[in-house]
Chain A
Amino acid sequence: MRTTPVVAPGDAVSTADSVDRGPRTPRRGVAKHGKVTPWLFLAPYLLLFGGFVILPVVLGGWISLHRWDYTLPGKPFVGLENYQALLDPGSTIYETFWSSMQATGIFTVASVPLLLVLPLVVALVMNQRFPGRNLFRAVYFAPYVLGVAVVAVVWRYLLDANIGLINYYAGLLGLPDDTAWTTSTPAAWVALVGVTVWWTLGYNSVIYLAALQDIPRELYEAARVDGASAWQQFVNVTLPGLRPVLAFVTMITIIASANMFGQSYLITQGGPGRETRTAIYQIAETGLRNFQMGSAAAMSYVLTLFLMVLSVGIFWLFRERKG
């Protein structure tokens, strides 16, 4: 890395000053900057942060207490009515919302274990020195940089029931060659989970790999000296060493899976029927296509509540255990 020459000397007075103090003994008590300086540095960020993160979190709650139709002039206050409707089996929104929550639940339960375990296996294989390692790592990571739109459009083609590559090769292997991957369940779930694993496996692998490389070699050597088998080393050295990162990866994977949108939007269009329409998909359609924003905001608060409870659960699960 190139270093750049440090700033030119200032005026004579301050130079003399610094000579007096001696360059190596900065005085702690001396103000290094004016009182407003830190806030000037923070201002641009805080403007964006306040306007598009803090304000919306609060505003969302406010909207959820109104019958807020973007296209109509009146937005009457309705109290908790939007929430009550979500909990009332007799309401029209009940069925659509909870079936979308169920879709999100199915997808999360099916995808998260795979997205935690498979990348770990790949990272363990990659956690040794061998020629070409960085090339393989880059290849496995590549789909992630493409983004969900490209990935989903490509896989929509590969999964085409009639002319798709997947059914063609399945047929060659003697498996059913007419699976309706995008228009029938459970095949659609297999497709959505499979595509997601293909897309994000490299991402989790890279995080695991960095954590594996941080585990001190001496721990493995000590375990070997004690006669530990490969499996015992994995259980007693690798897993404990990975614990904080496992918690982190579990968390981001659950949040990502619970926010699954593009795969369903582009591959199955939420179908068959609305079976693969996830909660976030339903929220976006309710709020931003049908403009029932009060109801949609209430839905997003309920979904967030679920995710928060889940997060607390995960923290508890991965907490530091004594003894």
Chain B
Amino acid sequence: MRTPRTVVRYTLLVVLGLVFVSPLVFMLVTSFKTRGDASGFPPSWIPNPFSTQAYESILTAPGTPVLRWFANSLVAALANAALVVSTAALAAYALARMHFRGRNVVFGLIIATLFVPPVILVIPNYLIVGELSWLNTLAAVIIPTAASAFGVFFLRQFFLAIPEELEEAARLDGASPLQIFVRVVLPLSRPALATLALLALLANWNDFLWPVYVLFSPEMQTLPAGLSTLQSANAVRYDLLMAGAVIASVPVLVLFVFLQRFIIEGVSRSGLKG
């Protein structure tokens, strides 16, 4: 009775797959419709006529500088990911391999914040960022979210699994702790570093509440905050909104298609030892 079971399984999987894919296809289709076509009824799956009007108009509209948002998002996500990975890796290495008073306290404190709901940080961090004159600058979306407790936890686990003999050998050859870290540990940890970088990149690219409130002028916004601006400026111009949504999705979808193994593995490993 193998075949009928297989047919049932694939039917279910494909139907479920359509539920996940079709909204994204419809987003793409609509972004190539004209204004009238996008708000026509019944909704159609083929643009008629095919048009790039929506892209042209959002890319040139003065109040909604989509290209600028794109650049802001890119700079913020890359800088944030670099900061997350470098600070977490250094800290995780000290916590994994070095012996010092207070190590358990520091590690315990970091882990405890994994369970602190982020809502408690919003108001005070706004004041801190204001005090530093970072409001309405990219620093506000790059730096405050860079202390990743998950990153420290995740990399520490990985470093602990590296055979200590390799570091020992380098140490006996006269390498300093920093040299050992940079030349021995980091090269061996590329998959873990890549996974953490990708997760940080995605989280920053997609972050919504914080940028909406700390980046208030149109030219300073990131894509998600910008989409919200775009929506309030063009309530039912779905052609424009879908074009904006496509521009915001393409980079992450491309990243996902090529690097999904790292992303999915990073997420799935977050549950183990949870």
Contacts and interface: CB of A to CB of B under 8 A. Distances in A.
Interface in B58-105: 83, 86-88, 90-91, 93-95, 98-100, 103
A235 interface: no
Given A150-B224, A158-B26, 13 more contacts: A6-B166, A6-B183, A41-B90, A42-B94, A53-B116, A59-B124, A70-B127, A130-B6, A150-B227, A160-B238, A207-B271, A244-B274, A288-B123
14 contacts: A2-B187, A6-B173, A21-B172, A32-B171, A41-B90, A45-B152, A56-B124, A63-B127, A145-B253, A149-B225, A163-B39, A211-B271, A288-B123, A289-B213
A109 interface: no
A245 B10 CA distance: 27
Contacts of A140: 16-17, 20
A203 B103 contact: no
A209 B27 CA distance: 29
Contacts of B98: 32-33, 37-38, 41
Interface string A105-135: 0000000000000000010010000101000
A70 B20 contact: no
Interface string B144-186: 1111010010000000000000101111111101011101100
A150 B272 contact: no
Contacts of B271: 207-208, 210-211, 245, 248-249
Interface in A228-272: 244-245, 247-249, 251, 255, 258-259, 261-262, 265-266
State the main secondary structure of chain A at its contact with B.
helix
Bin chain B's interface residue count: 35 or more
B174 A57 contact: no
A125 B9 CA distance: 8
A154 B24 contact: yes
B23 A207 contact: no
Nearest to B118: A259
B6 A39 contact: no
Interface of B: 6, 9-10, 12-13, 16-17, 19-21, 23-24, 26-27, 30, 39-43, 83, 86-88, 90-91, 93-95, 98-100, 103, 106, 109-110, 113, 115-128, 130, 143-147, 149, 152, 166, 168-175, 177, 179-181, 183-184, 187-188, 190-191, 202, 205-209, 212-213, 223-225, 227-228, 230-231, 236, 238, 241-242, 244-245, 248-249, 252-253, 255-257, 260, 263-264, 267-272, 274
